Structure 1
Amino acid sequence: MKLKNTSVCLLAGWMLMACSGGGYEKTSNGIIVNVEQQQPMDVRKVKVEVMGEKLIHVSATPEKNFSKAESLIIVPQKDKTDFSVEESEDAVSVKTSEVCAIVSKATGEVRFTDASGNLILAEDEKGRSFQPIEVQGTKAYTVRQVFQSPDDEAFYGLGQHQADEFNYKGKNEELFQYNTKVSVPFIVSNKNYGILWDSYSLCRFGDPRDYAQLSTVFKLYDKEGKEGALTGTYVPSQKSTAETLVRREDSVYFEHLKSEDLSKVVNLPEGFPFMGSQVTYEGEIEPMESGRFRFILYYAGYTKVYIDGELVVPERWRTAWNPNSYKFAVDLKAGKRVPLKIEWIPDGYVSYCGLRALSPVSAEEQNKQSWWGEMQNEIDYYFVYGEDMDEVISGYRALTGKSQIMPKWAMGYWQSRERYKTQEEILDALKEFRKRQIPIDNIVLDWSYWPENAWGSHEFDKARFPDPKGMVDSIHALNAKMMISVWPKFYMTTEHYKEFDEKGWMYQQAVKDSIRDWIGPGYVGSFYDAYAEGARKLFWKQMEDHLYPLGIDAWWMDASEPNVRDCTDLAYRKALCGPTALGPSDQYFNAYALMNAEAIYDGQRAVDNDKRVFLLTRSGFAGLQRYSTATWSGDIATRWEDMKAQISAGLNFAVSGIPYWTMDIGGFCVEKRYEDGQKEFNRTGKENADYKEWRELNTRWYQFGAFCPLFRAHGQYPFREVWNIAPEGHPAYSSIVYYTKLRYTMMPYIYSLAGMTYFDDYTIMRPLVMDFTADTKVNNISDQFMFGPALMAAPVYEYGARNREVYFPATCGWYDFYTGKYMAGGQQLKVDAPYERMPLYVREGAIVPYGPEMQYSDEKPAEEITLYVYAGKDGEFTLYEDEGVNYNYEKGQYATIPFTYNDAEGTLTIGDRAGEFPGMLKERIFNVVKVSKDKPQPFDAKAKGTVVKYDGKEQKVKLY
């Protein structure tokens, strides 16, 4: 290895070992600094490893030696990076050509600078802590690491969460996996660096404390003014014979099922009939200190919260079996009593409500970057630097693995419902798409296609699916693909369960407790241990034997959190999903979905390395992208606020380094008023107010979904096929069909973005802060985003809205997609948003290729591409093409055509085609349409422009 700036004194320093004052040793890829401990839980050793020119791995431990456990998320790094080591009186530095990590000899604290010595990030003084923890005989540490953070910093990532938070600066997020919540321990700063926290346990970003019961944060007073509790009033449904119940509540903590009786909720009054009831918790709270109190509301049913007479949480709803949480903050003064009122309408026989709080911390402390992990061998994180956010995400993928190119059909439209109950239903739905000439590529078979008592058998119920192979063949004959739901769950009566169990690869707690699920009379089962290598191989082998021969195209890996049982507290959830083959579930709590995805990806590629793997999983973790896996946002609700929350959730998930994300368009769990609205419409043919709203909600959601990496509708009744939402001729129907067809016309653009995710580590769905980092006004804009480099989408998420505010980022101008009208950047405008259209804009300098109208993604080659060029700035775009279904692109079999626009000259250069692949078009036509301030052009895929016949050789075209 070549070393730079190395002196004789430095060489002598390499020989120092474990002495006081910062002795260090050099390793093959970095250094280990030995720190003199003052207390047993102080850091003893700090390791700095060079992973790349801009990638540094830091580990810290109070032990004599570092753990030898291998990372689950980091892939082997093939290339070695040159670095140098320098020692000063109080620090040891590791330098690459791009960054420097400086370790204090006295404390072991690390700071990072660029090559010029400018500070990028620094660990906070005394910001590192270790507390011993022992679980099931395994010893480890509860750890915390705090970094300094300037006031103008912003943080993004952490996966996908549902509280509609975007910039995590000064906020708290608990990282665990649950239905609708996907935690990825990676954050990206607007200062162009990232931190990847290598932990698989429960983690917290921000305040490391758990939210506390109200009585520990406030003095409580009931509505009569008596200290010690709030007043809980339980008013039963008018249909019930029960009496109103009033009792004092020293907490509002009705969040979990009892582990000993899963039919009851902890702390709720026994025997009270909650369905149709109205519950109020009210009184006063008196803060014990002044400052900003942070609250978390846990809710199912309809819930509102008032503090000091102000509605701080407008009505929110979630289905009873799948509660949600929402966070808010209120400034309060010590000793000043203020009214608190929670209005709760439970929406089920078992329902949930909880309100907890955090006492204030100083703004300075809250605004630091803080990581806490419940059970780790040591502190372990990766510092990733870049010139921009794209480069930071590229560094993350260098560490955790490349994102595969998804099969081209996956970029098209997917239809799903919960659920197609028969072979006839799924085929009839697909035939109706073809009959109506509405494009579709993928139809999905959700859960329960198996016999009722045979979950995990991978066998079809012959009464409902008499010919599974014929069904799949029929789908293929209709030029569509089929995805099927596969769970890591097995009833104990199945042969597959027994195969796992005899090897010790089944989680046992659910069986021991005889937990019965919700199907029929209830059946006992559990989940397999995906942390065991042999179990992963067996899981795929069972799929290979029973499902793969049918010709199924893709796998829907449901409940991969793993969700052994809904609505239990974290302690019982850990008991249900462990111990794992690697150790206690406390330590391996969050990475199950990654291990499960590995099972299918490695398994299928071993069987057929010529067919692209495609997985969709309800959970995820750092590194998921390397297994050709996308994530969807789980069983979200059908509310406008839930639609809005998906925008921020999807954007943060994208910044977490995993580029393929989707959601249930229309929401999964449906409010009963919408169900009733459709039933009334079916009965009378009349559209009531609720059904009218349902149609508009779905219209707006489809508009948004067309500009997500994957475009997919799914949910409970009412059904989501467009003709089940509205009849042909209705504006909802017209809009949904318009955007579905537009999606297919955009396929050359979209598939080029897919190529960029692999070759350039690109991110398809992009918060504005990625492309306009210097414009600080975009730091907190979570309801607009870029779809690739050209298009800015601004979804509408309010009922009845026919306009909305849109911010046009500075540094470039913008064109209205539908009219071609130009507007300057750096301004906020109220723009039109008619029912059938979502505000959509094109960036100045953009080049966007559009292909032919199609009914499925490979119906016809793009022999003629309409190429829109938006004048005002220089621009470039590269068209990417390959075979769309196999892995030949990994062998170099693909082609690119570069487009470059020179605005001053008004010329477009279509460059030489590079590369080739079987079936490639050798000749084609480009129909070039220029849009400018003086010559606005609305989008029209059939617009007449300058025609260029292209044979793969460079051509320069003058555009007028």
Structure 2
Amino acid sequence: MFTIDSYHADEMPGAFLFRSLDRLLRIGFVTPAIVRITVTGHDVFHDRPSRIVIGRPEEVEVKLHETPHEYTFRTTALTITLVRATGRLVYATAGGRTLMQEPEHGGKWLTPRPVTRNVFDRGIGIAEGQGIDGARANSATYTSLFDREAFEAKLEFEFAKDEALFGLGSHEEGYANLRGRSRELYQQNMKAVVPHLVSTRGYGLLFDCCSLMTFHDDALGSYWWADCVDQLDYYLLYGETYDGVIRHYRCLTGRTPLPPRWAFGYVQSKERYVNGQELIDVVREYRRRAIPLDVIVLDWKSWPNGAGWGQKSFDPLRFPNPEGLTTELHTLGARLMVSIWPIMTGSCPDQRELLQHGFMLGNQSTYDAFHPQARELYWQQVSRGLFSKGVDAWWCDCTEPFEADWSGAIKPEPHQRLRLNTEASKRYLDAGNINAYSLLHSQGIYEGQRRTNHQKRVLNLTRSSYAGQHRYGTFTWNGDICGTWDSLRRSIAEGLNFCATGEPYWTVDIGGFFLRNDPSLWFWRGDYNAGSRGLTAMDAIEPDPSDLGCTDLGFHELYTRWLQYAAFLPMFRSHGTDAPREIWRFGEPGNLFYDAIASTIRLRYRLLPYIYSVAADVTFSDASMVQAMALCFPQDHATHVIADQFLFGPAIMVCPITHAMHYSKNSRPIRDVDHTRLVYLPHGRDWYDFWSNDYFSGGQTILTSATLDHIPLYVPSGSILILGEVTQHTEEQPDAPYEIHVYTGANTSFTLYEDDGDSYAYEDGAFATTLISWDESTHNLTLSRRIGDFSSLVRERDYRVIFHTQQGQVMRELRYSGMQHTVSIPGSHFDL
């Protein structure tokens, strides 16, 4: 029996405290629409600063109604009922519509468990080695000491039959809707965990927990289990719509800083460019071919040969003049991203320095990102060795530094992988924190660069993620996946789940990381061996000019389709091993694949004014760039099962092609295959084919053209899409004309955002916005007076306005100088 105890006035002023024989239960409102539930088996709550939640509670007016059987709490947004006998909670809207509830018996369980910590002797030898996934170091000798009494926790749910669930990050299985599924939440090469679950009923569940967790909605029941918590601590966020849920999520976990504009251009990478001249030559070749490019990536082993793994400085033999290298790349309009690692071995200078200060974990090779001074020293090493040389961006690889299943010919079973990886992590990290390493590592990079240079935005591509990591300037990718059509299909669904959490920036290795099939390694199972190969000893010094890449036309088709999909992700990045990925590896102009790749990259650059404005909306309005159809159209239950379509911003529905139509592997031609795919057009909007301008009513499935030269795209009626010119990089031709595409059918608006593209001056108001509005009844498009200013603002720009109607297109032209301007089209174009 739970009885009200008092108002709890420490961390949560105004929270309600309840007691039973063996439990404390606290209900606290952060806002009228966000409630925090905390349960402990201790006599008091052990509130510590959260690693995930940084938002502070508001003063919320809560009306409490008490009966002999239950307590009812009402705010302007929520009604929450606590059953006194069991502690069961029922969550409903202020109007009484049930959102989610716990089972009759209560559903909140805490099981005491001891937590130990391991003490390592720095004099004991460390076993160092290098696998496919980089260097690893382990110590088998340590002493385990009792640290504290904690709990395993379990929270049970009763979901509605008609709701769909998304979130929890990106994993390997390829699930979109998580109903009837389970998820194991621990960090691993191909797992990026975010403990936030979002429902089509307009609510989210955020778990403030950094330990191993599992989620189940399957034959075992519907519940969330956590391995190690000091108290069960979670939030229900009622947003009414998906956008509202994400606003609440970022209210709790922090705002998203605006990435540099060039981060949304094309990023060229491979495993790996071996010297500075090769980097310059690749960028020059892109410029010669007039193919846009903004970032070139230097993967692992940029450090001095033979000096140990993970040193954060350039090899003086292969990169004799780092400042000259970055200056020349910048002159060519390209930025340099360099991979850095939390692991250092071989007694390299950075490792020795961190050891001297006691800032290494027990394996003496992985720095302690949980220690603020260790994070600061790690950044100092990055700054003096790389940032001071002109490096622009970071690829924080292996940010789940203790994975232990990356070997062997047979993939371990899921329960074995969970045990192997979490036990390896718990050897060196507190069991309650094994999921949070990437979050703290990203914090150190972000805060370090912000302290060092206010004129350069942080860009950090990192393989692991956690709730709140977006506030540190991160993009996450889904790890070292294989080059197969199945991997492409799975990536689409997993990207939707990652972005559904409210972590906005996600990407993939275009084409898959592994191309070849190596029977001795379970993870190296690509489908394409023809012409692909691994690096040789000579490649460590000089690139092989005879390496033409993978010659399998089956891979060329897969790569082209993958690239078309990735052009509609936040980061557009080609990367992988076994074969280089530059455009000329897929033919020359006139070749089917080359031309499709080139046109896709150019389309991405035309979309940059739209993409950058959506990114600003992510920053200023807590919007989302990639959205699952079910979360955008929750009332249309046909969308709940869609895993291969999504919205990119508010105005583009992307429909990737996920099977071969021209060639299977080994360049075998495919005969008698229709170059089409089925597309579902959700109810509630009508739709325009981006390519043909054909108009369709919503609520139907259509058969659409899917020839290799394009990816099917659809625009909802009542949309505005801003396109620019094709430029070779994001800083070329800043005053180039724009096109405003108005897809008529409903009133709509879009805010064009502009700033200097690379500094944090926008935080001080140095930016400009132009509200562009369409009035369906008057057939008027209005460019409102521009608001704001910054030093490099283009004062006047030519615009071409293209109105899309059911009957066709109408074009107008104007020159906009910042003052309100209205463009009309005749009503006859809307006559049926």
Instruction: Give TM-score scaled by structure 1 length.
Output: 0.76
Change (3 A) 1:187 1:685: closer
Structure 2 distance, partners of 1:198, 1:125, is 24
Deviations 1:40-70 (A, max 9, x none): xx5x111112111211111011111111322
Change (3 A) 1:81 1:35: closer
Structure 2 distance, partners of 1:755, 1:144, is 38
* 2:71 maps to 1:92: yes
Deviations 1:70-103 (A, max 9, x none): 2110114274434344433333344332113333
Query: Which deviates the most, 808-817 or 459-468?
Result: 459-468
User: Aligned residue for 2:569?
Assistant: 708
State which structure, 1 or 2, has the greater radius of gyration over its C-alpha atoms: 1
Q: Any residues of structure 2 matched to 1:159-238 within 5 Å, and which?
A: 159-206=169-216
* 2:1 maps to 1:148: no
Change (3 A) 1:862 1:633: farther
User: Aligned residue for 2:447?
Assistant: 602
Matched residue of 1:527: which SS?
coil
Structure 2 distance, partners of 1:783, 1:750, is 21
Matched residue of 1:179: which SS?
coil
Deviations 1:502-529 (A, max 9, x none): 34332224x6xxxxxxxxxxxxxx3112
Structure 2 distance, partners of 1:200, 1:683, is 47
Matched residue of 1:630: which SS?
strand
Q: Cα distance, 1:685 vs. partner?
A: 12
User: Aligned residue for 1:132?
Assistant: 112
Q: Cα distance, 1:891 vs. partner?
A: 1.5
Structure 1 distance, partners of 2:532, 2:7, is 71
User: Aligned residue for 2:54?
Assistant: 75
Query: Which deviates the most, 189-198 or 664-673?
Result: 664-673
User: Aligned residue for 2:750?
Assistant: 877
Change (3 A) 1:858 1:67: same
Matched residue of 1:59: which SS?
strand
User: Aligned residue for 2:14?
Assistant: 30
User: Aligned residue for 1:956?
Assistant: 822
Letter in 2 for 1:194: G
Q: 2:381 aligns with which of 542, 565, 568?
A: 542
User: Aligned residue for 1:766?
Assistant: 627
Q: Cα distance, 1:610 vs. partner?
A: 2.5
Matched residue of 1:157: which SS?
strand
Letter in 1 for 2:15: I
Q: 1:471 aligns with which of 313, 325, 340?
A: 325
Deviations 1:623-665 (A, max 9, x none): 0110011101111110000011110011111101111111100
Residues 36 and 106 of structure 1 are in contact (CA less than 8 Å); yes or no, is this contact kept in structure 2? no
Q: Cα distance, 1:863 vs. partner?
A: 4.5
* 2:96 maps to 1:117: yes
Deviations 1:515-568 (A, max 9, x none): xxxxxxxxxxx3112111121111111112211110111111000012454438
Q: Any residues of structure 2 matched to 1:333-344 within 5 Å, and which?
A: none
Aligned residue pairs: how many? Answer: 753
Q: Cα distance, 1:832 vs. partner?
A: 1.2
Change (3 A) 1:187 1:706: same
Structure 1 distance, partners of 2:55, 2:560, is 45
Structure 1 distance, partners of 2:66, 2:358, is 51
Q: Any residues of structure 2 matched to 1:618-657 within 5 Å, and which?
A: 618-657=463-502
Structure 2 distance, partners of 1:505, 1:686, is 45
Structure 2: tracts of 5 or more residues without a match? 117-145, 408-416, 518-526, 535-543, 662-672, 827-832
Structure 2 distance, partners of 1:564, 1:472, is 34
Residues 869 and 931 of structure 1 are in contact (CA less than 8 Å); yes or no, is this contact kept in structure 2? yes
Structure 1: tracts of 5 or more residues without a match? 1-18, 208-293, 295-359, 512-525, 938-943
Q: Cα distance, 1:683 vs. partner?
A: 13
* 2:437 maps to 1:592: yes
Deviations 1:768-810 (A, max 9, x none): 1222111110011010011111111100010116211110111
User: Aligned residue for 2:414?
Assistant: none
Letter in 2 for 1:606: R
User: Aligned residue for 1:313?
Assistant: none
User: Aligned residue for 1:104?
Assistant: 83
Structure 2 distance, partners of 1:668, 1:26, is 52
Structure 2 distance, partners of 1:153, 1:71, is 30
User: Aligned residue for 1:224?
Assistant: none
Change (3 A) 1:684 1:562: closer
Instruction: Give TM-score scaled by structure 2 length.
Output: 0.87
User: Aligned residue for 2:25?
Assistant: 46
Residues 188 and 421 of structure 2 are in contact (CA less than 8 Å); yes or no, is this contact kept in structure 1? no
Q: Any residues of structure 2 matched to 1:494-573 within 5 Å, and which?
A: 494-509=348-363, 526-563=365-402, 565-567=404-406, 570-571=418-419, 573=421
Superposition RMSD in Å: 2.3
Structure 1 distance, partners of 2:796, 2:281, is 39
Q: Any residues of structure 2 matched to 1:173-322 within 5 Å, and which?
A: 173-206=183-216
Residues 193 and 385 of structure 1 are in contact (CA less than 8 Å); yes or no, is this contact kept in structure 2? yes
Deviations 1:807-828 (A, max 9, x none): 0111121111111111111111
Residues 33 and 105 of structure 1 are in contact (CA less than 8 Å); yes or no, is this contact kept in structure 2? no
User: Aligned residue for 2:520?
Assistant: none
Q: Cα distance, 1:737 vs. partner?
A: 0.6
User: Aligned residue for 1:674?
Assistant: 528
Letter in 1 for 2:377: L
Query: Which deviates the most, 802-811 or 78-87?
Result: 78-87
Q: Cα distance, 1:849 vs. partner?
A: 1.1
Q: Cα distance, 1:910 vs. partner?
A: 1.4
* 2:659 maps to 1:798: yes
Letter in 2 for 1:29: P
Residues 699 and 836 of structure 1 are in contact (CA less than 8 Å); yes or no, is this contact kept in structure 2? no
Change (3 A) 1:431 1:675: farther
Q: 2:597 aligns with which of 707, 727, 736?
A: 736
Structure 2 distance, partners of 1:22, 1:490, is 53
* 2:240 maps to 1:387: yes
Q: Any residues of structure 2 matched to 1:843-882 within 5 Å, and which?
A: 843-882=716-755
Structure 2 distance, partners of 1:180, 1:721, is 24
Deviations 1:443-463 (A, max 9, x none): 110001112342222122222
Q: Cα distance, 1:398 vs. partner?
A: 0.6
Query: Which deviates the most, 108-117 or 883-892?
Result: 108-117
